[in-house]
Structure 1
Amino acid sequence: MNVNFDRYYSARKNVFERIQDSSTATKVLMSFMMACFTGIMAQIIIPLPWTPVPITAQTFAVLCSGLFLGKKYGCLSQILYVVLGIAFIPWFGGMTGGLETFLGSTGGFFIGFIIASYFIGTITEKYAKARNFTRMAAVIGIANFALIYIPGLAGLALWFYFAQGTTLGIVELLMMGLVPFIMGDIVKILGAASVSKVFLPKD
């Protein structure tokens, strides 16, 4: 049994180091693949009747991008997701795309994706001991509920003001952009923390 665990730990470390030591071209390709994964996960969607912001699974891909690709290329994957989605690939939620979608009710969340991926990647690269389940769940929780939701809610409030001509109260804003998503986000946070525990080396 010990031998099997030793092989597992060794293989896990080797794969992680290969990703870190791969060429720039390979890392850019992996960033594009992660952008594609984000686009695929964005199609798992549950619309809500009282808010223009739907529940999607794309946040899980965002959180994992920093874990696997680090701050620079994890961040790049989300930049590619946003830029290519604006330019010509309809892979935002509900197979949408274009500048109009980016400037819509969910535009702030796209910005949060880039920031969150960079933050998670920074912690993952710099602090190996933070890759265990408990610490990484805390890191990912901060990224999710602060770094994604702060720009996301700000963008939603601005969009509502310019689209409807009225200002959302704080309770209305939270009910439209945060509260309905908390339970699903907790599941995604725990899932991403589990990915870190299983696949990332701790030394």
Structure 2
Amino acid sequence: MGGCMEFLSGYRRARLRLFEWRSCLEWEYKLLLALGFAALTGLAAQVVIFLPWTPVPITAQTFAVLVGAVVLGRHWGGVGQLIYVALGAIGVPWFYGMSGGYEHLLGASGGYLLGFVVAAWLVGYLSDTHPSTRRAPSLLGLFLLATVVIYGLGLLQLYAWLCAHSTPPTLLELLIKGVLPFLPGDILKAVLASGCAWAIVPKERFC
């Protein structure tokens, strides 16, 4: 029992030192970390399932967005996703299907990409500045809130895209194309991401 408690105490000290180190890095090293999580998001984008009734595919990106936001923290969580979106828009082939180009931002799923940036900034800022958000239930609630933000921006552009390419959809049709197919998987990703984040982030204030 004593050995287990000693291990847990050492683990808590180690993760606190890790996040203190991350917070004290010079901006260029934080930029490299952000680039790394942008690449991780691009890798997660290749886990893709296409559905016949919607132009928006299912991917694993949300998991990388949420965990990356906690690891990168205040401001830099959003920067990581901004790098992902910006480099993808100019041609880096790390959007789904190993593709890139600005047409993704103008397409049916472009709003979700912008939602990644806003959601990552929100999660990174709150998890860094409010230690209470690092508890398991709070992390899950924060991640579900971030998912709602992604859906909100995604649906706005999806609606505009559908209006430009067909008749305006009803609210139910929009939800069938832009939310309902993704909801079970996104809830699962939020649960898994909150578990990972709870394990790695210190509960004490570190910045």
| TM-score scaled by length of structure 1 | 0.97
Find the aligned partners of 1:95 and 1:53 in 2 and give their Cα distance.
15
1:34 matched to 2:37? The reply is yes
1:168 matched to 2:158? The reply is no
Match of 1:157 in 2: 159
Match of 1:108 in 2: 111
Q: Deviations over 1:22-59 (max 9, x none)?
A: 11110000000000000000000011010001110011
Letter of the structure 1 residue corresponding to residue 157 of structure 2? G
Q: How does 1:34-183 map to 2 (within 5 A)?
A: 34-145=37-148, 147-164=149-166, 166-183=167-184
1:192 matched to 2:193? The reply is yes
RMSD: 0.8
* Structure 2 alignment gaps of length 5 or more: none
Q: Deviations over 1:56-91 (max 9, x none)?
A: 001111111210111311101111101100102011
Equivalent residues, number: 201
In structure 2, the residue corresponding to 1:180 is in which secondary structure? Answer: coil
Q: Deviations over 1:168-198 (max 9, x none)?
A: 1000000000001111001110111111210
In structure 2, the residue corresponding to 1:154 is in which secondary structure? Answer: helix
Find the aligned partners of 1:194 and 1:20 in 2 and give their Cα distance.
22
Match of 1:22 in 2: 25
Larger CA deviation: 186-195 vs 170-179: 186-195
| TM-score scaled by length of structure 2 | 0.95
Identity of counterpart residues, as a percentage? Answer: 37
